[in-house]
């Protein structure tokens, strides 16, 4: 059942395993105690799976993913580097999403989303004139990865997500995302600097030629010198490290996640 779970017949008994939407569709009613247990599990940040047999709830399973070490710091760096608004889109329940959001200080969190809901959200941002990068690793993320201006897939994700993306982070690490984004910005800046150097050199040589200050030998010397300057300037990218260029300030409080799940 898309966005809900699955149902099956096991030894002549009807079994339903999924979220609260599935339980509602299966007309499974939770007691007050079960509702409290469910909410307690969700408030810890766990994704909950409900198991019902013959219309009666039999189990509440909490599945929790530990937040990776350094993610919060990496997200701070992304903010420092110019990312304006980061959102988490997830199919998990509201309480779990909110708990994760509180732990990471997310800009915006949207829960209980189907794949088409995520695509709609991406399109709404694009219609507002924003450039959208979507990061995901699952089959459900693939439509949004394809729709976004820049689709980014984790290398350890599904083949569909990888094939539909523009960029693949081979190590599935947010640290790699920080490096890739910072290197891209630095490369663009470096390219602009080299264009200015090249055009400036041509203008200088042209003016010198017109007024008789530049001759064949001096012109070749200046031209070759400018080429070396451009090469050495580009070589600075080899030693690029986002940590040196974009250090996380002490007492930094602004953090945000990337779109995922």
- Sorting pLDDT into bands at 50, 70 and 90, what band is 177? confident
Q: Please tell me the distance from the alpha carbon of residue 220 to that of residue 224, in angstroms, as a whole number.
A: 6
Question: pTM for the whole thing?
Answer: 0.67
pLDDT in tens, 121-138: 999 999 999 999 998 888
Instruction: Please indicate, yes or no, whether residues 161 and 190 belong to a single structural domain of this protein.
Output: no
Q: Final residue of a domain: which of 146, 176, 206?
A: 176
- β 133-136/150-154 pair status: parallel
Dihedral of the alpha carbons of 242, 243, 245, 250, in degrees to the nearest 10:
140
Mean pLDDT of the chain: 84
Question: 3-state DSSP helix/strand/coil percent for the chain, to nearest 5?
Answer: 50, 15, 30
Residue 257: inside a domain:
no
Q: Which DSSP state fits 253? A: -
Q: Which residue has the higher pLDDT, 164 or 53?
A: 53
pLDDT in tens, 15-67: 999 998 899 999 999 999 999 999 888 877 778 899 999 999 999 998 877 77
Nearest Cα to Cα of residue 179 among 239, 255, 256, 250? 239
Q: What is the pLDDT of residue 230?
A: 94
Beta-bridge mates of residue 53: 15, 56
Beta-carbon neighbour count of residue 142 at 10 Å? 25
Using the predicted structure, report yes or no on whether residue 218 has a pLDDT greater than 50: yes
Q: Final residue of a domain: which of 176, 210, 237?
A: 176
Residue 254: inside a domain:
no
Instruction: Please indicate, yes or no, whether residues 78 and 132 belong to a single structural domain of this protein.
Output: yes
Quote the domain boundaries for residue 150: 71-176
Q: What is the pLDDT of residue 242?
A: 67
Using the predicted structure, report yes or no on whether residue 187 has a pLDDT greater than 70: yes
Using the predicted structure, report yes or no on whether residue 120 has a pLDDT greater than 90: yes
Intra-chain end-to-end CA distance of the chain, in Å: 18
Q: Are 249 and 77 in contact (CB under 8 A)?
A: no
Q: Please tell me the distance from the alpha carbon of residue 258 to that of residue 154, in angstroms, as a whole number.
A: 12
Using the predicted structure, report yes or no on whether residue 200 has a pLDDT greater than 90: yes
Q: What is the pLDDT of residue 74?
A: 84
Q: What is the pLDDT of residue 243?
A: 57
Q: Is 258 exposed, middle or buried (0-12, 13-18, 19+ CB in 10 A)?
A: buried
Q: What is the pLDDT of residue 34?
A: 92
pLDDT in tens, 239-252: 887 654 444 444 33
Domain total in the chain: 3
Instruction: Please indicate, yes or no, whether residues 59 and 131 belong to a single structural domain of this protein.
Output: no
Q: Which residue has the higher pLDDT, 154 or 17?
A: 17
Residue 251: inside a domain:
no
């Amino acid at each position: 059942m898309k966005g809900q779970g699955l149902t099956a017949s096991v030894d002549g008994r009807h079994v339903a395993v999924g979220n609260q939407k599935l339980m509602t569709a299966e007309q499974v009613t939770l007691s007050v105690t079960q509702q409290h247990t469910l909410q307690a599990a969700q408030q810890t940040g766990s994704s909950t799976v409900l198991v019902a047999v013959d219309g009666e709830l039999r189990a509440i399973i909490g599945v929790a993913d530990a937040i990776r070490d350094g993610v919060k710091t990496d997200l701070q760096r992304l903010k420092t580097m110019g990312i304006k608004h980061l959102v988490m889109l997830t199919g998990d329940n509201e309480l779990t999403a909110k708990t994760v959001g509180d732990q990471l200080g997310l800009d915006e969190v949207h829960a209980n989303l189907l794949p088409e809901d995520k695509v709609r959200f991406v399109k709404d941002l694009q219609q507002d004139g924003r450039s959208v990068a979507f990061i995901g690793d699952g089959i459900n993320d693939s439509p949004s990865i394809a729709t976004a201006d820049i689709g980014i897939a984790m290398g350890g994700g599904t083949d569909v997500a990888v094939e539909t993306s523009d960029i693949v982070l081979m190590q599935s690490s947010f640290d790699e995302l920080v490096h890739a984004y910072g290197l891209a910005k630095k490369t663009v800046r470096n390219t602009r600097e080299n264009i200015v150097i090249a055009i400036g050199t041509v203008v200088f040589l042209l003016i010198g030629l017109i007024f008789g200050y530049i001759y064949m030998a001096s012109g070749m010397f200046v031209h070759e010198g400018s080429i070396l300057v451009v090469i050495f300037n580009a070589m600075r990218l080899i030693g690029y490290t986002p940590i040196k260029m974009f250090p996380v300030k002490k007492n930094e409080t602004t953090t945000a996640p990337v779109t995922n799940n």
